[in-house]
Copies of this chain bind each other. A is one copy, B any other.
Amino acid sequence: MTAETTAAAPQVSTALLTDQYEMTMLQAALADGTAKRQCTFEVFARRLPAGRRYGVVAGVQRFIDAVEDFRFGDAELAMLEPIVDRPTLEFLADYRFDGDIDGYPEGELYFPGSPVLSVRGTFAAAVMLETVALSIYNFDCAVASAAARMSSAAGDRTLIEMGSRRAHEDAAVAAARAAYLAGFDITSNLEAGRRYGIPTGGTAAHSFTLLHDSEEDAFAAQIAAQGTGTTLLVDTYDITKGIETAVRVAGTDLGAVRIDSGDLGVLARSARDQLDALGAKQTRVVLSGDLDEYAIAALRAEPVDSYGVGTSVVTGSGAPTAGMVYKLVEVDGRPVEKRSENKASLGGRKSALRRHRSSGTATEEVVFLAEGQHPEPDERDVVLPIPLVRGGSRVDGLPALVDSRRHLKDALVTLPWEGLKLSQGDPAIPTTLLLPGH
């Protein structure tokens, strides 16, 4: 065992995962006293990626972890010494977020304008969390939102996330988590298994077949090590021969075959027929290779058991970032808003509820001022934000990852039927702003 390396490292500070201007704004605000003003910052998306009908909130627990680790140690302060003045460094040395945070729970749906996160505290306390909050929400929501569409397309078939190699190595771990949240069943990423308890799995690479003197030798070695329940990759040379060899070596109890290239729909059908003819009726067919939600949907009629998805899920299937922003909406109880062209913000601290028909179908997202006139809630309305942090401490009893996964599954069922369509369309439900003057 090597002692000097460990994945369970001491807390690493998140404080420098931050844009420099947060620190220089802090210095100026400390100097003129405005740093003490009570502020509310809100995170929201002005729009969904083109044609998407809903978004999925992800990254909530990761953000709260990052807030807890947002501390300035010697290394952080040394970096900042040439950038900010002495009083600012002293403030940072003692910094610990001590405000309140509310937000949509992980696994909740969101729509344009949904106030998915609300960070409250002094300007000094809250402004610095901007960059890390957006990094986490923009990435995790992008992956979860794409993954949820793939999960809808896959129905009851198993989804394996295997995109680690197509994403930054640490982003890959977060992507595995977001994909699992959004309905994927398994990840190939070992660190995601270790850190978040997500089920891990895998098959074999073409290199394993090429390493051996023959495909038969490779299959025999894999079965000797993993048992007949394993998944054999059969497309290194010739798929028909590969399947024949696989069943000859493993017997008809072979767990699965994987096909990673070619016309997957045709190949799935012929693989199924061949397996059945060979008596391997329980052997599953796993497909991979540039699958996205559209390809998965197109394979619905084919005899596929599992999909392995890589690039498309970890890159948000065309929308690699969720476009969320972190905007100051209230200062000392007074609503504030910018009026920049096409980028205006709406002042005032907000809450939201989602209205439903008696059938349970969602009809409308209503955004209203948290301290203004509330809309009349009826028993089918769901108030969306929940408390996440109080006085700087994580609220007890926040949903675990598996709970959030179930929450999303349930939430998707409430969408109007067009909401689950993969084709381009409007948001599945409208957002109504009950904001005085708007």
What residues make up the interface of A, taking CB atoms closer than 8 Å to B? 1-25, 27-29, 31-32, 34, 37, 39, 41, 66, 69, 71-77, 79-80, 83, 85, 93, 123, 127, 130-132, 134-136, 138-139, 162, 164-174, 188-191, 193-194, 200-212, 217, 220-222, 224-226, 235-238, 260-263, 289, 311, 314-316, 320-321, 323, 326-328, 331, 336-343, 345
Contacts and interface: CB of A to CB of B under 8 A. Distances in A.
A342 B261 contact: yes
A254 to B, nearest CB: 15
7 contacts: A5-B73, A7-B15, A19-B189, A20-B201, A20-B202, A22-B205, A207-B327
Contact of A171 (B139, B165, B201): B139
Contacts of A2: 71-73, 93
A120 to B, nearest CB: 14
B165 A29 contact: no
Contacts of A18: 164, 189-191
Nearest to A8: B75
Contacts of A342: 261-262
A1 to B, nearest CB: 5
Given A17-B170, A171-B168, A331-B211, A5 B338 contact: no
Contact of A337 (B132, B210, B220): B210
Contact of A165 (B20, B130, B238): B130
A191 B25 contact: no
Given A79-B193, A262-B341, A321-B166, A74 B211 contact: no
Contact of A28 (B3, B225, B328): B225
Contacts of A206: 327-328, 338, 340, 345
A196 to B, nearest CB: 12
Given A31-B224, A210-B338, 5 more contacts: A7-B76, A19-B189, A28-B208, A135-B168, A237-B338
A169 B331 contact: no
Contacts of A136: 168-169
